[in-house]
C-alpha cells in the first residue's frame, strides 16, 4: 500500500471548487498529500486506512487553498509618502506623474538600488504576504525601464521568492512609463521594448508574462498593441493595466490578445466586459489602488457577474497607488468598496487568481492539485474577508511542505 507523505485530519475544508456548494465546503474532513500534490480528500468517515509519514490534526479548524496575490509591483526602492501627502493636499496622480514624479520617482530610486538592497526590501514585503497565507505571488518589473534594471528586478523577484520558499510568476512591465531618456519619444521607447527588451527577456526566460499600462499618461492602445503583438509572437502571455483612470479601450484590447487578465477596470464599459467574457480573460480588481487614489468610479462588478467573467482581486502592492502589503486587508476592502461577497473575495485570491496567472494546478483543493494549503483558526471562511487587521493563519503548506522546513 502506498504511503501518504502528509495527512491532515479533523478539518473543515473550503475547497473553493466551482459549481458545487458555497465555498465547496466539506465538514469533518481529511486531506492527504503525496509528492507535493493532493492525493485524497473527503469526509473523515471515508478515509482509507493508509499509512502517513506525518499526521497533523487540524483540530476542527479550516483549510483553504493557499492564497494567491496575482498582481504586485513588489520589487521597488524607496517610497512615495511625500507624494501621497501632496495628493491629500489637492494634487492629482496625473499631475504628479506629468511633473516627473509618480512612477518616474520610483524608477530613479530603483535604478540607483543594487540587487541586494532591492532583494532585502522585497523580501520584507513578501514575508508579510506569506504570513497571511500567500503561497503564490505575481511580481512585475516596470521600475527600471532600461534593460539592465528591468532584468535586475526580475532576477530579484525570482531569487527572493525562491529563498522564501514560495512560487512566483514574474511579469515584464517594460511599457509602464516613458523613461526620461525617451521624453516626448514614446514610440521610440516602444521600439526599444519590442525590438531589444522583449527578445532579451524572452531569451533569458526571466518573465512568465508581459504587462503594459494603457492610459493617456502612459501608452496608447496602438503602442500597447505593438508590445502585445511582439510578446505573442514570442509565445509570452499578456495582461494589461486597463481602464484605471479613463475608458481607454483597455479591456477590449486585452481581450483581443486573449490576455490572461485585464486589471483595474474602473472605467471599463459594457463592450469591454463582453469582450473579456468572450475571451475568457480574468478581471483583476485592485481595491487598494482605488482606496489610495480616492477613486469614486466603481468597476462594473454587476456586469462582470452577469457576463460570468471570473473576478480576481490582488494587492497591487506598489509605492505610488497601493502601498498595501496585505492580501487579507485587500479582501476586506473588496467587500466594502466593491461590494464583492466574502465568497467572491476568497475565490478572487484562490481559484480565479490562479487562472489570472495561467496556473491550473492550484487555487482549489482537489485531487491532483498542488498541496498549497492554508490552515486558519476561524469559524467560517467568510471571516477571512470580514476581520480587518487580524491574522488567523496557523499553518501554510507549499507543495505539501511548510516553507523553510
**The residue to which cell 483581443 is assigned:** 256
Angle at 329 between CA 355 and CA 93, to 5 degrees: 85
In the complex, residue closest to Fe ion by CB: 316
The pattern of x and - marking residues 240 through 279 that bind ligand NIG according to CB under 6 A reads -x--x-----------------------------------
Cβ proximity to ligand NIG: between 310 and 319 the closer is 319
Return d(Cα 262, Cα 272) in angstroms, integer. Answer: 10
SS3 call for 241: strand
Site for ligand NIG in 47-106 (CB under 6 A): 73, 102-103, 106
Q: Are 62 and 378 in contact (CB under 8 A)?
A: yes
Q: Which does 64 bind (CB under 5 to 8 A by kind): Fe ion, ligand NIG, none?
A: none
SS3 call for 169: strand
Cβ proximity to Fe ion: between 83 and 392 the closer is 83
Q: Enter the C-alpha cell of residue 328.
A: 487579507
Return d(Cα 213, Cα 84) in angstroms, integer. Answer: 21
Q: Which does 102 bind (CB under 5 to 8 A by kind): ligand NIG, Fe ion, none?
A: ligand NIG
Regarding 208 and contact with Fe ion (CB under 5 A), the answer is: no
Return d(Cα 114, Cα 135) in angstroms, integer. Answer: 26
In the complex, residue closest to ligand NIG by CB: 320
Return d(Cα 132, Cα 386) in angstroms, integer. Answer: 14
CB of 264 to Fe ion, least distance (A): 7
Q: Which does 320 bind (CB under 5 to 8 A by kind): ligand NIG, Fe ion, none?
A: ligand NIG
Cβ proximity to ligand NIG: between 264 and 364 the closer is 264
Q: Give the number of C-alpha atoms closer than 13 A to the C-alpha of residue 119, restricted to the C-beta side.
A: 13
Question: Which residues make up the interface to ligand NIG (CB under 6 A)?
Answer: 73, 102-103, 106, 213, 241, 244, 289, 316, 318-322
Question: Which residues make up the interface to Fe ion (CB under 5 A)?
Answer: 316
Amino acid at each position: 500500500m502506498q504511503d501518504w507523505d502528509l495527512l491532515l485530519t479533523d478539518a473543515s475544508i473550503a475547497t473553493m471548487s466551482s459549481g458545487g456548494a458555497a465555498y465547496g465546503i466539506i465538514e469533518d474532513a481529511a486531506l492527504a498529500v503525496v509528492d507535493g500534490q493532493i492525493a485524497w480528500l473527503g469526509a473523515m468517515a471515508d478515509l482509507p486506512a493508509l499509512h502517513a509519514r506525518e499526521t497533523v490534526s487540524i483540530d476542527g479548524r479550516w483549510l483553504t487553498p493557499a492564497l494567491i496575490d496575482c498582481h504586485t509591483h513588489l520589487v521597488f526602492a524607496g517610497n512615495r509618502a511625500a507624494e501621497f501627502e501632496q495628493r491629500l493636499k489637492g494634487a492629482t496622480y496625473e499631475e504628479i506623474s506629468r511633473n516627473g514624479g509618480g512612477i518616474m520617482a520610483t524608477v530613479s530610486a530603483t535604478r540607483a538600488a543594487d540587487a541586494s538592497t532591492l532583494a532585502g526590501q522585497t523580501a520584507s514585503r513578501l514575508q508579510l504576504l506569506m504570513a497571511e497565507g500567500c503561497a503564490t505571488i505575481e511580481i512585475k518589473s516596470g521600475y527600471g525601464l532600461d534593460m539592465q534594471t528591468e532584468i535586475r528586478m526580475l532576477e530579484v523577484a525570482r531569487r527572493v521568492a525562491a529563498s522564501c520558499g514560495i512560487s512566483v510568476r514574474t511579469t515584464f512591465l517594460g511599457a509602464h512609463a516613458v523613461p526620461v531618456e525617451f521624453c516626448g519619444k514614446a514610440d521610440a521607447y516602444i521600439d526599444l521594448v519590442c525590438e531589444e527588451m522583449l527578445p532579451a527577456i524572452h531569451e533569458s526566460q526571466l518573465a512568465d508574462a508581459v504587462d503594459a499600462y494603457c492610459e493617456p499618461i502612459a501608452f496608447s492602445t496602438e503602442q500597447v498593441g505593438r508590445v502585445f503583438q511582439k510578446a505573442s509572437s514570442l509565445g509570452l502571455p499578456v495582461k494589461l493595466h486597463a481602464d484605471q483612470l479613463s475608458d481607454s479601450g483597455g479591456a477590449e484590447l486585452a481581450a483581443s490578445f486573449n490576455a490572461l487578465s485585464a486589471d483595474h477596470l474602473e472605467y471599463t464599459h459594457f463592450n469591454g466586459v463582453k469582450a473579456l467574457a468572450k475571451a475568457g480573460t480574468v478581471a483583476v480588481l485592485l481595491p487598494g489602488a482605488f482606496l489610495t487614489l480616492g477613486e469614486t468610479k466603481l468597476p462594473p462588478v454587476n456586469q462582470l457577474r452577469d457576463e460570468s467573467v471570473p473576478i480576481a482581486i490582488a494587492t497591487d502592492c506598489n509605492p505610488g497607488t497601493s502601498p498595501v502589503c496585505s492580501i487579507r486587508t485587500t479582501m476586506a476592502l473588496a467587500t466594502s468598496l466593491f461590494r464583492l461577497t466574502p465568497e467572491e473575495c476568497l475565490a478572487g485570491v484562490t481559484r480565479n487568481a490562479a487562472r489570472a496567472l495561467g496556473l491550473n494546478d492550484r487555487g482549489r483543493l482537489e485531487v491532483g492539485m498542488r498541496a498549497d494549503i492554508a490552515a486558519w483558526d476561524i469559524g467560517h471562511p467568510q471571516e477571512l474577508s470580514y476581520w480587518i487587521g487580524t491574522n488567523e493563519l496557523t499553518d501554510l503548506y507549499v507543495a505539501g511542505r511548510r516553507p523553510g522546513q
